């Protein structure tokens, strides 16, 4: 039988925990709990041949394996978050054995307790804003005048037209960025916490429109309806941008400690 290591999913409080027996984690493994005095962690025993340090370096380059394992990891976190306050850990966090897990929990105790207090009763919502290419390009005050001959006129007239077009486009980009800043600020005011993530490449996001905002918001469950309404009010009604609201999710963006295991 292959040696095993311990795979970590999420931090929880060490008190009463729901029955974990129905849960299956990465590679179909059973999920159990490792406790310290102040903290606990959802874990699975996994094969070292798949999740050991050397094996992980190889598997993380395999997109099919990565997609499957990440989906299994998230399924455990999502199921736990529906039942108790849950601070997700990074995908592919692995310890040698239970003693190593407890040692890390002992170090993380104070920081993790603060994280659990902050996210308790909250979910994460995502708001992505994109520039809408179907909307007309806004023109700076004073307008932009196009030579009546257009590109078929004199070389000077054509160059002037091109400069105006570039200036108008730069103005549009600036206006879109300001709109994204405004939307983030308004939504952040209504959330417990907010974060701006790095803008995603179109190949990763699956959307070819330029991304203006990749925001995450920690929202109390009782405020979810009002938050959704606010997103529609401040984002969906803007002419030059398109908004995508996702959630609720386990609070991945707000669960970090100073020293994740």
Q: Has residue 71 been placed in a domain?
A: yes
What's the pLDDT score for residue 150?
43
Residues 103 and 137 in one domain: no
Domain termination site, one of 120, 150, 171: 120
- Are residues 95 and 5 in contact, defined by beta-carbon separation less than 8 angstroms? yes
Q: Has residue 260 been placed in a domain?
A: no
Query: For tokens 């990440």, what's the residue?
Result: 70
Q: Has residue 259 been placed in a domain?
A: no
Q: Has residue 258 been placed in a domain?
A: no
Consecutive 10-residue averages of pLDDT for the chain (261 residues)? 88 87 93 92 96 94 95 96 94 96 92 94 95 58 44 62 60 68 94 94 76 95 96 78 92 77 43
Q: Tokens at residue 125, please?
A: 């919502």
Give the whole-angstrom CA distance, residue 168 versus residue 171: 5
Q: Has residue 185 been placed in a domain?
A: yes
Residues 177 and 243 in one domain: yes
Residues 28 and 42 in one domain: yes
What's the pLDDT score for residue 176?
67
* Alpha-carbon torsion (97, 103, 107, 113), positive or negative: positive
What's the pLDDT score for residue 169?
55
Total tally of structural domains belonging to the chain: 2
Q: Which domain holds residue 236?
A: 123-253
Q: Tokens at residue 123, please?
A: 């979910």
Residues 135 and 240 in one domain: yes
Domain termination site, one of 120, 149, 171: 120
Residues 108 and 210 in one domain: no
What's the pLDDT score for residue 173?
57
Give the whole-angstrom CA distance, residue 107 versus residue 94: 16
Q: Which residues contact 48 (CB under 8 A, 6 or more apart)?
A: 2, 3, 4, 5, 55
Domain termination site, one of 93, 120, 147: 120
The closest of 13, 20, 16, 17 to 36, measured between CA atoms, is 13
Residues 220 and 143 in one domain: yes
Q: Has residue 182 been placed in a domain?
A: yes
Q: Has residue 171 been placed in a domain?
A: yes
Residues 39 and 24 in one domain: yes
Alpha helices, H only, 21-124: 48-51, 53-59, 63-81, 98-119
Q: Has residue 261 been placed in a domain?
A: no
Residues 127 and 172 in one domain: yes
Residues 231 and 146 in one domain: yes
Q: Is 28 left (phi over 0), alpha (psi -120 to 50) or beta?
A: left
Residues 74 and 157 in one domain: no
φ/ψ (deg, to 5) at 129: -115, 140
The closest of 165, 182, 85 to 129, measured between CA atoms, is 182
104-127 residue pLDDT tens: 999 998 899 999 999 999 999 999
Q: Please, is 17 exposed, middle or buried when counting C-beta atoms within 10 Å of its C-beta (0-12, 13-18, 19+)?
A: middle
Rounded to a whole number of angstroms, the distance between the first and last alpha carbons of the chain is 27
H/E element holding 46? strand 40-47
Residues 8 and 75 in one domain: yes
Task: Please state the separation of Cα 64 from the chain's center in Å.
Answer: 21
What's the pLDDT score for residue 152?
46
Residues 249 and 127 in one domain: yes
Inter-axis angle of helices 155-189 and 224-231, nearest 10: 170
Alpha helices, H only, the chain: 48-51, 53-59, 63-81, 98-119, 155-189, 202-205, 224-231
């Amino acid at each position: 039988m292959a040696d095993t290591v311990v795979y970590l999913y999420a931090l929880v409080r060490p008190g009463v925990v729901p029955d974990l027996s129905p849960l299956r984690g990465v590679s179909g493994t059973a999920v159990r709990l490792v406790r310290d005095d102040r903290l606990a962690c959802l874990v699975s025993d996994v094969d070292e041949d798949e999740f050991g340090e050397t094996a992980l370096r190889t598997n993380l380059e395999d997109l099919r394996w990565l997609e499957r394992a990440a989906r299994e990891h998230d399924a455990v976190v999502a199921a736990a978050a529906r039942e108790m306050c849950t601070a997700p850990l990074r995908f592919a966090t692995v310890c040698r054995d239970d003693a190593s897990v407890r040692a890390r929990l002992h170090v993380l105790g104070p920081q993790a307790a603060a994280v659990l207090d902050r996210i308790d009763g909250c979910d994460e919502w995502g708001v992505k804003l994109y520039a809408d290419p179907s909307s007309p390009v806004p023109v700076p005050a004073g307008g932009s005048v196009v030579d009546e001959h257009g590109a078929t006129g004199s070389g000077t007239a054509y160059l002037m037209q091109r400069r105006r077009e570039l200036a108008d486009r730069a103005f549009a980009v600036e206006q879109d960025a300001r709109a994204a800043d405004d939307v983030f600020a308004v939504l952040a005011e209504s959330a417990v916490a907010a974060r701006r993530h790095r803008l995603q490449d179109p190949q990763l996001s699956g959307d070819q429109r330029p991304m203006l905002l990749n925001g995450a918001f920690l929202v109390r469950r009782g405020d979810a309806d009002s938050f959704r309404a606010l997103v529609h009010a401040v984002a969906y009604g803007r002419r030059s941008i398109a908004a995508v609201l996702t959630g609720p999710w386990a609070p991945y963006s707000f669960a970090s400690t100073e020293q994740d295991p």
